[in-house]
Every structure is written in structure tokens, then in C-alpha cells.
Structure 1
């Protein structure tokens, strides 16, 4: 298909070219025009399938453009955008069968939704046009006609006015009326959990057939609408009103079980209340929102009014000290396994809602960023690639997605640190050992052993490079840590001495005064926050 962009603002046209993944909508060619006259000449090479057009331009308006297109008999999908909301503009645009009316600045998500609706509606119009020409084909493909109707209903392509819905039903010669009620059954499968050996189109086909057979006891593809949104593969199934709720639940449970058995995936089933056709699109959106908030009650059947019972009486906080220690030990397996066990325990206790998963993610990121900063590694460069960004965006969708993201972050963090350590000189590695272990009893021999050198050789090298002996450097670092503790923590001087590696309070005070010119008590009094 071919798309024509019309706007007198060149940057807007360039942005549209760049931000839209045109191939996803079946569009292989995008051409641009900067006024109406120029746009009309583009039709010399054939009419475009889709036109995206500004309304207000100095050399002819978008309304004039769509009027000309319709007068020429061209069947193009049409999306308008403008800087100003105007009922007059919008109503005129709809009169000429415009598909969407967007307000600048363009919202990328709304633009993508408008593109999808417009392209799908164009395909259906053209299909229906073929049916109109060939009555026999219409009859033989009645299921496709009905499928397109339900797709239009669920994507809000059709009006929600009952009289207009009834007109559309009559136009398509469908065997029901606008005042009938229906139940929406929504099947959800996380795309990230689907076996990698599945071809996407084959999986859609298999799940559609399975859903049709289970819910209708026969193939009925015109009532099964598959689509993908927010990393979720959905199948919306339209059931006639009056169907027994317990039968629907039993069929849903059977479908979930068969998905696990044959498709090797975890499917979750949501069953709506009975709704008018005009209410089904909103109902679908509500069930999708319910699914996005469902982290642990998956693989089962839920009715629309069910509420997930989470125990959130206490806010959960990750043990950041533990994970800081595990990162310092470079123990990737322990980090990932402890995270997994923590989430599984919270899920088993019904404490893992979307908010809690988000808090765990933020606590874990805090540990990672602090650890990287301590080791002079820039996090934004480490995690700015497409894979890391995509996994981060999906990490709050499910425990599975969270663990994929956490595994990547842990792997990158520790492997980058190892590479950094390998590139460091011997003195830098000795300093790092001191920084990581200063609170323990430590000698010159311990430091030398950490870098696999003799004490005498390391001492000489260390002194030449830093101007200090190993023990002088160790004491200086300990005093720096002690100064921070004296200001930030309300603990005794003895506790500060012990936690910074001094086993003798008198010696600690002597070294402290020698390096700072003040006693520990005087330093605290001088630098405490309320001073």
C-alpha cells in the first residue's frame, strides 16, 4: 500500500516519516506533498491507499483535499490532524468519511491506533466492495463479513448509536439485531511466554481454532477476533446472550487447560457481563485493563466483576543491603535465584500486586545504580540498547517478564565490572580491595595476596604511585568512612571505630585527630546537620 503525507510544515512531515513503522501496517511507500496542488499531482502515479493530512494550510485546506478526493471517486483512508480542536472541522471531515481526527502535537500511541483502524477499515471496505459485486461470493464468505463487523465493533470503528449499528447489520445481512445482548470472552496470553518455536501467524491460527471449537462446539471463526496489544496476544470471542455462566466458566477452564497441554502456553480467560453491541468496545478495554493488573492470578478463569484479593497491608521493601553484598561478590546466580524466590513467595502469599512489583523493581535498580556508581561505571550507557529498553518496559507486565529483565541487568552489570577490573592496574585493584574490605581486620599481606603479589613488591609499587604506604591509605579510607558515619548516623564513637575496622578506640581517636586535626567528638559537633 501507498501513503501520502500532506503538510506545509516540513519538520512535521519528516517526523511522521521517521516515527511510524510503516511496514507494520502493510505500507511499502510513503510520499510527501507540502500543499494541496502538489498533493493532487501525486495521484498521477495512482491513488494512495492512505492520506494523512493537515487541515489548515495556506494554499488550500485539508477539507478541500478530502472533498476533491471523494468527488474523484477515490477510496482512500483519510486521517486529519490540526493544531486546533474545531467541531465544525471535525463534523465536516466525518461528512466526507474521514477515518480519524487528531490534535497536534501528535500522540504517537493515538497515531498508531488511528493508523491501525484506518488501514483495517480500508481493507474491509474493499473486501465488502468485492462482495457487493459478487453476490455468491458474499454468501460463501458470510463468516468473513460477520468477523469484520465484530472487529469494527471492538475497535470502535462503528458508531455506538444503536440505529447506526442496526443499519450496518442490515447492510451486511447479519443474522442478529442491535438490541440483542452478547457476552465477551477475552483470552490473554503473554507474547513473551510463547514457545520460541511457534510461528506467530500459526499460533494465532491455532488459538483461534481452539477457542472456536471449545466455546461453540464447532468451528465458528467469525466470532473470534485475534489481536495483539501491550505484549499480550488476545482473542476476543463473542458469545450470544443467555448462555449459562457456569457453562461459560467450564468452557473457559477447558480452553485454559488445552492451551497449556497443546500450545504450551498459559492462557487467562475473562468473561464479561452480558452487554449491548454498543458497549462491547468499552467492555473489551476494561477487561484488557484487568488483565494488565493481573500479575499472579493467571492461567484461570475470571468474571468481569471479580476482584483480585491482594494482601497489601504492609509495603514490601527489598533487602537492598543483601543484594549490594551479592553484587560485590559478583554472584549472579544467587542474585537471580533470590529475586525469583522472593517474587514467588510474595505471589504465594497474594502480596504481589502491580504496585509491589514496581517497588521491587525500583529497589533493585537502586542497588544496581549505586553499585555501578561506586565502581565508576555509567549506567545510562550500559542499559541504553534496544533490548534492555524493551525488557524494562515489559518488566512490570508479569513475573516472567520481570525475571527476564532482572537477569539481563544482573548479567550486564557483573560482566561489565569484571571487564573493568581486568583493565585496571595492580594499584587500582589493591585500592578496590581496600574499599570493599576496610571494615575487616586487614594487613599489608592481605592486600598483596588479593592481587597475587609479594608484600614488598606491592608496597614499593603502591608508594611510588600514591605517595602513601598501604596502611596509610587504608587508614585514610577508614577515616573518610568514619567521618561520614559521624555525621549521618547517631551511633557511639566506639561503634564508628569498630565498623570502620579499628579494634582499639584509643588508636582510632589518635589516627582520626592526626588526619583531620580534630577529635571524633569535635568533628561530629562541628559537622552535625543541625549545626
Structure 2
């Protein structure tokens, strides 16, 4: 134990050093200072356990010293010395929790009694501090034990039978009343709601702390159980029947507000009916199912006995033709905005449930897969990444998650088609389509559809680049094939005409003569004789 003596009178300091048998009181080190500044320097080097200080000194009073020390969280003993009694000094000393107030000249017995009193007070404080630490540790451990118990009840790890639950509570030395009814408050935050910079465990810790602070004085920390299930952060709060349900409703609304304000996320709360302890695991499952079916009623407080009501009298069908055209025109923004508008309209009419959202998703995917197939792009490869799969997994959870998924799919689809188009020009792809299909009955519109353009626009682009119309280029391909067949095969003129895509022999002959200057018969006769 360390003691600091402060007095501007050096003889008084020496007298104090000698008048008291310090070791007898457990004081192993006595430090001295002759003014307040010296005392503060010593204090900053290591706080003493006891300070004996003169009140009246020219370079700072003893009152200045005790005030400064207390402001620096000093909880040690303090004995004042003064040359005369003063009510003002005494009252100030009491205000700053001084142990004793002694008047000079000092009496040995009086001084030793004051020192003894200060040291006993210090020992009591130290003992109480240890008790406080032990008490806090016990309370913390109790909360952990109780939280573990309720977690086992909610997950049915303890069989849902009253006598078994009671027995388990007694084993864990918990004051749990199994005969009373409880209300379960479930707080839900989808993982997709939290900002990217949040770490899962840190967010869960912050959410639980926020809920605990709001419910302080109402619910013990041991009855707030945090867990995560299928990308949703949950907090289950056990409330005994005695709590006013309106007060609980208000607390739930406050949790939603604080989550939005401080954690920047949308929380949803669910309040159960009163239930026996044995029924709490089933209640928890039912509230989770209610949360899973909640598509458009997020950020509110819901009651177990008030299920969501959707108008499902008419089945909604996505306008797939419209979305196909928007994809062909590569209108990313319009695709997403149109989809968002459809969902908002359905939500406003209370027609957007999980089944409808899933149906819209399937129709949207059908449009995407059809377009990707036309461009020979493998959808399974395009959406194979972990992030894409996670978005797809969450898409049916809420409108927010659906739109995140739809935005990603739209961007990926349009960008992938653009890459394909850039690697091969429109006219070149139209030519390739003609070469692969000229034997069939092809029109200008068929060729235009193969490159996702209108017939008029393709005709203009094709003519500018090749100098030919689509029809002329098609006939060129057909006549080249016919010329080869006439020379190398024995097929009739009529068969060759049909096989190369012409409707009639007369039209075939007309086009053939126009492009070669000879009839098909004359061409065969001439070139076969040459061979």
C-alpha cells in the first residue's frame, strides 16, 4: 500500500514521516510532495492508496487536489490537515468524500486513528469490488445458462413435456415458471437487408444488443435468443404472460424504428398468442412460416392470429411478348422498371403473394432462357456463380430480393447477348442463317427474326453492306447449290428446284436464267459435256 504526504511546510512532512509507524498499517511506501504540481506528477506515475494533504498551500489548495483527483477517478483514501477549523473547508471535504479532517498541531493518536479508518475503508471497498466482480460474473453466467435453456425449449431439444421442462430448469437452477403462459416475440431481418460492409456475426451481435437495450427492465438478457436460419437473422424473446401486450407491441414498434435508424435495415416483428411452455417450439415454427410467407408486409408488427390476406381471385400472367421485345432492344432500365411497376401494382392491390411472385419469376426466366437459346448461350454457365445462385435462392423471399435478382439476371443476359453480337456482325449472322436454311421456305422476316431485328431495318443494313437485297442473296445461295446439283447429280430439274427452296419449276428456271444466262437444262447439258 502506498501513501502520499502533501504539505508546503517541510518540517511538517518530516514529522508525519516519523510520527506514524506506517508498516504497522500495511503501508510499504510513503511518498512526499511540497506542492500540488509535484503531487500530481507523483499521482500520474501511479495512484497512491492514501493521500494526506494540507488544505492551505500557496501554490494550490488541498481542495484543488482532491477535486482534481476525484475527477481522475481516484477512489482512494483522503485525510485533510489544516491550521484552524472551518465549516466551509469541512463541508467541502465531505462533498469530495474525504475520510477525515484534522486540525494542527497533530495528535499522534488522532492521526493514527484517522489512518486506520481510511485503510479499513479501503479494504472494505476492495472486498466489495471483488464481490461486485463475482456478482457480475454470476449474473452473466446465469444469463448464458438461461439462454441455453430457452434455446433448448424453442428447438425442442428438451422434450415438450411440462415435467421434463420443469426438471431441466431445476437442474440448471433457474427460476422458470413452467405453469405460466408465455408470449413469443420474433424479430426477423433478412440477410439481404444488411449492408455489404456488415460481417454476419457483428450484425447479429449489434441487432441483439439493440433489442436488449430497448427491452431493458422488461425482459432479462437470458430470455433473448439470437439465431440464424436460411439467411434470416432472428431474435426470439420470451415474455411472461403478466406483461401488458400493448407495452410489448410498443416495444416491437420501437425495435423496428431503431433498426431502420441505426442498423439501416428493415426488421419485422411477430407476436404470438399466449402459449404454455410445452407449446413454444411449435409457436416458433409457425411464426417462422409466417415470416417466410411475408412478401409485402415487411417492417411492421404482425400477430399470429392475423394471417396475411391476399386477393388471388385472378391469376396474374407476365406479358412475355413485351419483355422479349425489351430484351431484344437491350433496354435494361425499362425491363427492370417495368417489372418493378408490375410488382408494385400487384402489391397495392394486395395480389402479390409468394405463389404469384414465383410464377412471375418462372415467366421471366422463360423469356431469358429463350433468348439465350437463340444465341446459343448456355444459361447454366451464365448463372453458375455463387453470387448468382444466392440471389436466385433469395428471389422468392421478398420484393426487394426479387428485384435484386431480376436486375442481376437482366444485366447478365443483355451483356452476354451484346458480346455475341459484337463478335459477329448482324449481316454476317444473317448470311450464316441464310446459308444454313436456304433449302426451307424463307422470307425476309424470317431472316430478320434470326438476328432480332425488324424486316425493314435488316433490309436497309443488308443492302448497305452487301449491295444486294435479302431475297437476291437468298436466290444466289440457292442457284449456287442448284448449279452444283445439276452437274454432279442425276436428279430431275423439278427435284433440284424443290430441294434448293424454290416453290415451282418455272420460278426456279426464271431465276436460274437471270443469274446464269442459261436455262437449267442447257446449263446441265453444257457443263456435263465439258466434264
In the other structure, the counterpart of 1:470 is 473
CA RMSD of aligned residues (A): 3.0
Separation in structure 1 between the aligned mates of residue 459 and residue 302 of structure 2, nearest angstrom? 65
Q: Which residue of 2 aligns with 1:265?
A: 265
Shift of 1:221: 1.9
**Residue 207 to residue 218, structure 1, CA distance change in 2 (3 Å):** farther
Give yes or no for the alignment of 1:191 onto 2:191: yes
Deviation at 1:220, TM superposition (A): 3.0
Describe the superposition over 1:376-434 as per-residue Cα deviations: whole angstroms up to 9, x where unpaired: 22212212222222211111011111111111111111111111112225643345772
> Does structure 1 residue 446 correspond to structure 2 residue 449?
no
- Kept in 1: contact 2:426–2:451 (CA 8 A): no
Q: Deviations over 1:294-330 (max 9, x none)?
A: 0001100001111112111111111101100011011
Q: Is the 8 A contact 2:219 2:239 kept in 1?
A: no
Distance in 2 separating the partners of 1:401 and 1:228: 18
How far did residue 213 of structure 1 move? 2.8
Q: Secondary structure at the match of 1:234?
A: strand
Between the aligned partners of 2:476 and 2:332, the Cα distance in structure 1 is 31
Between 429-438 and 370-379, report the one with greater CA deviation.
429-438
In structure 2, what is the equivalent of residue 297 of structure 1? 297
In the superposition, relative to structure 1, how do residues 250 and 423 fare at CA in structure 2: closer, same or farther (>3 Å)?
A: same
Q: Distance in 2 between matches of 1:136 and 1:438?
A: 75
Matches within 5 A, 1:172-211: 172-211=172-211
The answer as to 2:407 corresponding to 1:407 is: yes
Tell me the distance in 1 between the aligned counterparts of 2:498 and 2:239. Answer: 79
Residue deviations 1:452-502, cap 9 Å, x none? x3x43xx4xx99xxxx83364999xxxxxxxxxxxxxxxxxxxxxxxxxxx
| CA distance in 1 between partners of 2:291 and 2:235 (Å) | 13
Give 1 or 2 for the bigger CA radius of gyration: 2
Instruction: State the alpha-carbon separation in 1 of the partners of residues 397 and 367 from structure 2.
Output: 21
Q: 1:176 to 1:360 in 2, by over 3 A?
A: same
Q: 1:422 to 1:215 in 2, by over 3 A?
A: same
Segments of structure 1 that go 5 or more residues without pairing to the other structure are 1-133, 476-510, 519-531
Partner of 1:249: 249
Query: What residue in structure 1 maps to residue 220 of structure 2?
Result: 220
- Aligned positions, number: 339
Query: What is the CA deviation profile of residues 265-296 of structure 1, one whole-angstrom value per residue up to 9, with x for unaligned ones?
Result: 10000000111111111110110000000000
Name the SS for the 1:273 alignment partner.
Answer: coil
Alpha-carbon distance change, 512 to 440 in structure 1, aligned in 2, over 3 angstroms:
farther
Q: Could you tell me how far apart the structure 1 residues matched to 2:393 and 2:182 are?
A: 35
Aligned to 1:164: 164
Cα separation, 2, equivalents of 1:245 and 1:387: 42
Structure 2's unaligned 5+ residue stretches are 1-133, 434-446, 479-496, 505-531
Q: What is the CA–CA distance in structure 2 between the aligned matches of 1:443 and 1:474, rounded to whole Å?
A: 18
* Structure 1 residues 211-253: Cα deviation after superposition (integer angstroms, max 9, x where no partner): 2232344673211111111111100011111322222212111
Q: Is the 8 A contact 1:226 1:235 kept in 2?
A: yes
